[in-house]
Structure formats: C-alpha cells, structure tokens
Amino acid sequence: MRQPTPKNYLLLAIVTLLVTGGAMPAAAQRLALELNVGDSRPQQAEQVMTKLRSVLSADYISTPAAIRDMLSSHSWRPGLADADFSNEAFATEINIGSRAFSNGEFSKAQKSLEATLHRARENPLLLVREMKNRQTMLRGLVSLALANKRIYESAASSGAKPSVEAQAAREKRDATMAELIRSYPEQVISYKSFGREAEALFLSVGRELELQGRGSLSIAVHASEPLTVYLNEVKRDIRRPITDLVPGIYRVLLQTSTGEAREYRAEILPKQTTTVVIEWDLDAALTLGSWVGFQFATEGARVAEGDLIATLLRERREVTQVATFRVFANYGHVTVVGAVYLASGEELRHGKVEWDAVDQATPQLMQLVEFLDGGAPIANDNAPKASSRPLATVAAVERQRGQSSHIVGKLLVAGGIATMIGGGVLLAIDEDPNKSGPVQPTYRDTAVPGVVALSAGAVITGVGLWLWLRDDGGASNATAGRRRSLPLVAVGQGQVFLGWRSAF
C-alpha cells in the first residue's frame, strides 16, 4: 500500500478542524434582563440598569441593542395601533391620493399614499375585519406604484442623470408592485380594471419575481388559547407549510377569540422554507423596546417567570443562565432585587441591595452581582439581603440540565464508531498497482479516504465521549472549577496522534 503524502495529511487536518469545530459546544453566555410589574417603569430604572451593566462580567449579554438582536424573533406589533383609524378615514385618504395622481400631482400623490398605506400596515386588524378595506388597499398600491413610475420617467426624460430621488422612486415603484403581488396572489391587474400602464408594470415586475423562484413558510404557534392566523391579511391554515410564496417580507397576524391581535414579520427567500415559531405567552410578557426584559401586569403573574425563561432559552443552548433585575425607587431610596435562573427555569439564587445616596449605587450593585455569581454576602449594614438554594440542590438541577448533552454525546460516539468501521472497510478493500508486470486497468484506491474516515471517526468519538462523560453535576460556577477535558488530534510528519487532555 502506498505511503500517505503531505497532501493527504493536509486533507486530514482540514477534516479534523471541520469536525471538531462543528462538534465543540459554543462558549457559554448569560443574559441580563430587567423586570417590572405594573403599567409604569420606575424613573430611576434606566440610570440603575446602566450602572448595573457596567459591573456585570463579560459573559453577560446585557445591552438593550444586543438583546433585541438576539431575541428579534419575539418582536411583534399590536394588531391595531391606532383605534381612531376607521374604514371611512382609510377610504377617504386613499381617494385623496388617487385624485392627486389623476390630476398629475405625482409627488403629492406619492407622499399622501405612502403615509396612508403605512398607517394601514400599522393597523392590520382593520384590513381583516372588512373585505372592502383590502380592496381599498389594492387601489392604493396600484396608484402609488404608478405615481413612483411617473416621477422616475419624468426625471429620466430630461436627458440628465436621474437624481437620487428619481432612482428611489424607481425602486419604490417595483417594491410597491411586488408587495401587491405578494398580498394579492390571486389578483390579476388587467387593463380593463386599472389601465394598460398598470397592467404592463404588473407583468414586468411579475416576470422578474418569477425568475427568483418561490419559497415556503412554516408557522408554529405555541399558545394556551386558540388563535386565528392571517398571512398578509388573508386567513391561512398553518397545519402544513404555506408554499408557492413570492420572495419578500410577509405580515403574520395572529388574533385571539377575544380580539387581541399581534403582528410578526417573516422574510421569504427563494427556494427555501422559512420557519417562524411564535411563543404567544412568552411574547406577551417580553418587552423589546427602549428597555428589554419582562413586564408583568401583577405580582401574581410572576409565578410563570421560570417557565418563561425556560421557553426563551429552549432554542438558545449557548445561554446557560438568565439574571433578572427589578428596581424599586421611593423618594431617593433605591432597592434592586436580582435573581439568577438556570436555563431549565429553576431559580439558582436571589438577593437584594438598597441605598439612599447616589454614590452607594455602584458598590452595592457590585456586591449584588458578586453574590448572584456565587459569592458570599459581605457582612455590613448594606450587604445583599439574600436567599440561595443549597448547592446540592443546584448541582442536581445542573445534572438534569446536562442529560441532553449526554444524549448528544452517545449519538456522536455511535456515529464516530460507525465512521471508523467505514474507514476500516475502505482500508481493507484498498488495492495497489502491480509492481511487476503490466499495471491492471482499474484498481481500488481507497487508502486515503480510509485514513480520513478513521481519523474523523476517532475525533467524533472523542468529542462524543467528552459530552457523554463530562461532569455536568459537579461543581458549579459558584464553587470550585470543574474538571476540563477534551480530545486532541495532532498531525505530524508521517504520523497521526489521537489523545485526550484533562485537567484535575
């Protein structure tokens, strides 16, 4: 059998890096959220949370922008943002814009129709309550697309290079017609109903969209009550994926039997299935605005806090803990209550600090954070008033959390062994060319794939053993460091070393 070449070792190293990079778990992170109860947020909360973020450790995701980005799938808008926006007001405003277009006042029509259609999109419940409102929306989209078309053509006909505004009008022209096609998939814009100009634009944009291909949308809703689902204001059955969708942004509206409604957004990509998972009860309590965290209507509603945290982290395995902070303020006296939860929703510990002077804020918050991270309360009058669970109980919770890692480890071990068996078979059936006499016309050259498969299988098995056997129930972050062990692979000149590194 031929000796592996340096090229073979390079290939082996690349495969090893890919396997270990994909299988090793991501660095653990923690999430810091604000918590409020009732309708109002304490005036001092923003200042306190800013100071708190400055003393949290680097593994906390704590800034509102970063949290909003991480939890963007939970962002929603109310189904009816403006209760004064009536059917009559909508029709009147669309008529004003359409008349401006008919009178050749294209810029006026553009501004008027854009404002009205934006207002309608902010109130999707208005569009599903009355079918005539959807027809009003259709007329508005056609008129706006044509107004933008005229603005662009007027600038282009002058012979000069179109201005930035004219180019923007061209893009808006196509985007408006594309929205119409997405929102009214069964509607054909014909010259009999809307004129030849509208028909030509409809066909032109439609052909461009067809070249992109279609996409699909899968919607999963987890709620404690039945919900009606609308896609771009059309009632849809979500028991199976919604197919044959033109790419672009879609509006997903959910409504309860009592009339409460929320709207989510979903981007459909060509030849792909977009999945939207809606956690109705969690999203009701989650605030992702100027501040981020949980907003509960009453103290009694807080009993669901642990369950909501578990739901929030269900698909975010990189986040291992969530800390919540609640601010109380009364005539200069400030109290901050903090609690730490495991990803399972189990409370690890909680405590509070309080102060009267502003210069006490940072030291007190540092004491609270240190305690929540596992440190002991400092013995002074302003020490955190704290409660924590016994470490034995915490360890049991962490062991329960680690069971999923053990299952993944077992699967990886099984897959690694299967890969090594496959590599052994490839080595066993490898053939060499005749060293004397004529070379056979064909022979099996499977040595290099066999070596790669054996090595990759060994790495996968090693990572699986690490996940399977690691001490998830050992010392927590609050106590002594836990043992760290992991598989090692070294590729040298003419040899491959597989081993295990452990720290005790």
The residue with greater pLDDT, 388 or 47, is: 47
CA distances to 83, 296, 322, 330, 358 from 302, rounded to whole Å, are 30, 6, 15, 22, 29
The residue with greater pLDDT, 390 or 248, is: 248
Q: How many angstroms separate the CA atoms of 52 and 71, rounded?
A: 21
Most confident of the ranges 155-159, 229-233, 416-420? 229-233
Predicted confidence at residue 92, as pLDDT, reads 97
Long-range contacts of 167-173 (CB under 8 A, 24+ apart): 169/110, 172/110, 172/144, 172/148, 173/145, 173/148, 173/149, 173/201
Predicted confidence at residue 323, as pLDDT, reads 97
Predicted confidence at residue 453, as pLDDT, reads 81
Q: Is the pLDDT confidence value at 197 over 90? A: yes
Closest alpha carbon to 34 in 24, 21, 44: 44
> What average pLDDT does the chain have?
83
Percent of all residues in the chain with a pLDDT value above 90, rounded to a whole number: 62
What average pLDDT does range 398-422 have in this prediction?
70
Q: Is the pLDDT confidence value at 179 over 70? A: yes
Q: How far is CA 41 from the centre of its chain?
A: 26
What average pLDDT does range 115-119 have in this prediction?
97
Structure tokens at 204: 């032109």
Predicted confidence at residue 315, as pLDDT, reads 87
CA angle, 305 as apex, 304 and 308 as ends, to 5°? Answer: 85
CA distances to 366, 416, 446 from 2, rounded to whole Å, are 64, 26, 11
Structure tokens at 388: 């924590």
Residue showing tokens 């810029």: 107
Most confident of the ranges 8-12, 21-25, 328-332, 435-439? 328-332
pTM over 0.75: no
Start-end of H helices in 103-195? 106-121, 124-129, 131-156, 164-183, 191-194
The residue with greater pLDDT, 493 or 411, is: 411
Per-residue pLDDT of 442-490, as tens digits, reads 667 777 787 888 888 888 888 777 776 654 443 333 333 333 444 544 4
Which domains does the chain carry?
31-67+291-389 (no CATH), 83-211 (1.25.40), 215-280 (2.60.40), 395-503 (no CATH)
Per-residue pLDDT of 70-94, as tens digits, reads 999 999 999 999 989 999 999 999 9
Q: How far is CA 128 from the centre of its chain?
A: 28
Q: Is the pLDDT confidence value at 441 over 60? A: yes
Percent of all residues in the chain with a pLDDT value above 70, rounded to a whole number: 78
Note whether 145 and 176 are within 8 A (CB).
yes
Q: Is the pLDDT confidence value at 43 over 80? A: yes
The H-or-E segment that residue 251 falls in is strand 248-256
Confidence of residue 394 (pLDDT cuts 50, 70, 90): very low
CA angle, 461 as apex, 457 and 466 as ends, to 5°? Answer: 150
Predicted confidence at residue 350, as pLDDT, reads 93
The residue with greater pLDDT, 21 or 277, is: 277
The sign of the dihedral angle between the CA atoms of 436, 441, 444, 449 is positive
φ, ψ dihedrals at 241, nearest 5°: -55, 145
Lowest mean pLDDT among 150-159, 240-249, 389-398: 389-398
Note whether 56 and 321 are within 8 A (CB).
no
Predicted confidence at residue 455, as pLDDT, reads 83
Predicted confidence at residue 194, as pLDDT, reads 96
Most confident of the ranges 12-16, 209-213, 388-392, 423-427? 209-213
